């Protein structure tokens, strides 16, 4: 007998009741990928309000890399609850904040002195990073990229791509932001080889440094080494190397947003380690807190120290309860055993996904790094026309059979697979069986 156990149709009556309460109590703009109401979770398994057991292949959109209710994290939080919950780092110094900062300073790439500031969300991390970069350089312009997702605050929403879903109706946005194309190997023009296409992208970036912005006025370049919301699009090594060279030449702060692609998800602690390119600042969140709301910016000490006394900080940033959870999470994430498991999980998923690409013409592409894997659905493989409708239908069918899933991609035509890395091999295969059955159903339709 598998892990998935369905006592009712999904969603069940209790879930539907809670969804109705949600509808009446919460704004319509707060979307949801499923109509499932969760009451408990452990590892990679969740239980809904009707007693149904499901497999979690969304992982809180990449928040649960070490699994739901990791025992080390739970124990650390219980111990901290016996001491104190919060004091505010702007008032006094909680030791967990210092310990977590020391840990992140130690494990982030770069052979230079580093410092870390903590906040509550990925958006806050990015906001802090950009503000500090602007202060340190005395410049205002920021370069970001098409497909990038950096958050929903005014500044980070201004940086974010995918206009219709995230930005429509919320303008005006922050000025002095330049958005440039990012390489997408799946959607490159057919006349280009991979190498020629990457060279073309670099040429276009160089042209923008003349046609759109003077590099001497740029405070920061921000990029995800593997774009998340855009559809798990890895940035080519040569492209990241070029950004590093441009940043060095013109005194620009290079910021890597590793909020979704970091925390061990790609098989290394940080996705940028695959390229060997070291940023000046790294933004972290999601799985570093194992479900707790915490984020971090770690960067060169000389840059991080630039703002005046009192120029950075916030009431809840570095909450001790979140910090002790993050300390334990980062210890797990940075261990050799965990990273080996990430690669094993990634291989299991990738092998199945490549089989689907051979079997089903609606699967246009499968891609990913480590345990960050994705399926892209198209109406036609030759034209690569996105098919967001069938993607949503597949998700709904798979969810009704016991999975938690969520879409991705600029065209919302991808299914991202971010199961907790601690999920057992049999559970991974069971979930992939469910998803393949749904794909097969619509491939025949």
Concatenating the DSSP letter of every residue in 128-154 gives HHHHHHHHHHT--EEEEETT----SSH
pLDDT at residue 368, rounded to an integer: 96
pLDDT number for residue 444: 75
323 and 99 Cβ atoms separated by less than 8 Å? yes
∠ CA 59-367-160 to the nearest 5 degrees? 65
Tell me how far apart the terminal alpha carbons of the chain are, to the nearest angstrom. 29
Q: What is the DSSP string of 48-69?
A: ETTS-EEEESSHHHHT-TT-BT
Sheet containing 53-56, strands listed edge to edge, beginning at the edge strand earlier in sequence: 38-42, 45-48, 53-56, 403-404
Strands 372-380 and 363-369: antiparallel
Q: How many helices (H) and strands (E) does the chain have?
A: 14, 18
CA–CA distance, 167 with 423 (Å, rounded to integer): 35
pLDDT single digits (tens) 217-237? 999 999 999 999 999 999 999
- Dump pLDDT digits (tens) for 333-378: 999 999 999 999 999 999 999 999 999 999 999 999 999 999 999 9
Q: Is pLDDT at 214 greater than 90 in this prediction?
A: yes
Q: Mean pLDDT score of the chain, rounded to an integer?
A: 97
- Average pLDDT score over residue span 59-87: 97
Q: Which residues contact 75 (CB under 8 A, 6 or more apart)?
A: 328
Look at 29-33, 127-131, 367-371 and tell me which has the smallest mean pLDDT.
Answer: 29-33
Provide the pLDDT for residue 445: 59
Domain ranges of the chain: 13-62+336-444, 72-333
**Longest distance between any two alpha carbons in the chain, whole Å:** 64
How far CA 40 is from CA of 43, 60, 198, in Å, comes to 11, 14, 46
Average pLDDT over residues 167-184: 95
What is the rounded distance in angstroms from the CA atom of residue 118 to the CA atom of residue 262? Answer: 16
Backbone angles phi, psi at 193, to 5 degrees: -75, 165
Report d(CA 226, CA 251) in Å as an integer.
24
Q: What is the pLDDT at residue 120?
A: 98
Architecture per CATH, domain 72-333, reads as 3-Layer(aba) Sandwich (3.40)
- pLDDT at res. 399: 98
Instruction: Encode pLDDT of 398-435 as tens digits.
Output: 999 999 999 999 999 999 999 999 999 999 999 999 99
CATH of 13-62+336-444, one of 3.30.1130.10, 3.40.50.300, 3.90.1150.10, 1.10.10.10: 3.90.1150.10
What does the pLDDT average to over 272-299?
Answer: 98
pLDDT of residue 164: 87
């Amino acid at each position: 007998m598998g892990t998935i156990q369905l006592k009712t149709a999904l969603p069940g009556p209790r879930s539907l009741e809670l969804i109705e309460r949600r509808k009446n109590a919460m704004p319509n703009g707060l979307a949801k990928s499923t109509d499932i109401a969760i009451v408990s979770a452990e590892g990679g398994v969740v239980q809904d309000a009707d007693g149904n057991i499901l497999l979690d292949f969304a992982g809180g959109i990449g928040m649960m890399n070490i699994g739901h209710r990791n025992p080390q994290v739970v124990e650390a939080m219980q111990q901290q609850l016996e001491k104190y919950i919060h004091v505010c780092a702007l008032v006094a110094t909680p030791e967990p904040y210092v310990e977590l900062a020391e840990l992140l300073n130690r494990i982030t790439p770069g052979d230079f002195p580093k410092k870390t500031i903590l906040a509550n969300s990925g958006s806050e991390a990015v906001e802090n990073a950009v503000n500090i970069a602007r202060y340190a350089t005395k410049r205002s312009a920021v370069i970001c990229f098409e497909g990038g997702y950096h958050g929903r605050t005014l500044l980070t929403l201004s940086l974010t791509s995918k206009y219709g879903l995230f930005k429509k109706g919320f303008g005006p946005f922050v000025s002095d932001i330049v958005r440039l194309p990012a390489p997408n190997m799946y959607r490159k023009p057919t006349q280009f080889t991979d190498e020629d296409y990457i060279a073309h992208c670099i040429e276009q970036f160089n042209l923008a440094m003349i046609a759109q912005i003077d590099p001497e006025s740029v405070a920061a370049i921000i990029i995800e080494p593997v774009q998340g919301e855009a559809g798990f699009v890895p940035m080519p090594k040569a492209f990241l190397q070029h950004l590093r060279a441009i940043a060095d030449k013109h005194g620009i702060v290079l910021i890597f947003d590793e909020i979704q692609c970091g925390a061990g998800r790609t098989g290394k602690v940080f996705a940028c380690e695959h390229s060997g390119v070291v940023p000046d600042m790294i933004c972290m969140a999601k799985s570093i807190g194992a479900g707790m709301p915490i984020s971090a910016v770690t960067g060169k000490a000389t840059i991080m120290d630039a703002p005046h006394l009192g120029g950075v900080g916030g009431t809840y940033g570095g909450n001790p309860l979140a910090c002790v959870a993050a300390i334990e999470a980062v210890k797990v994430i940075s261990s050799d055993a965990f990273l080996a498991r990430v690669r094993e999980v990634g291989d299991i998923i990738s092998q199945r996904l490549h089989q689907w690409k051979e079997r089903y013409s609606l699967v246009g592409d499968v891609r990913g790094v480590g345990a960050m894997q994705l399926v892209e659905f198209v109406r036609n493989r030759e034209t690569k026309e996105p098919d967001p409708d069938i993607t949503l239908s597949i998700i709904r069918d798979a969810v009704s059979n016991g999975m938690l899933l969520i879409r991705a991609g600029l065209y919302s035509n991808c299914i991202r697979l971010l199961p907790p890395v601690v999920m057992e091999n049999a559970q991974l295969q069971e979930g992939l069986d469910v998803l393949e059955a749904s794909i097969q159903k619509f491939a025949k339709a």
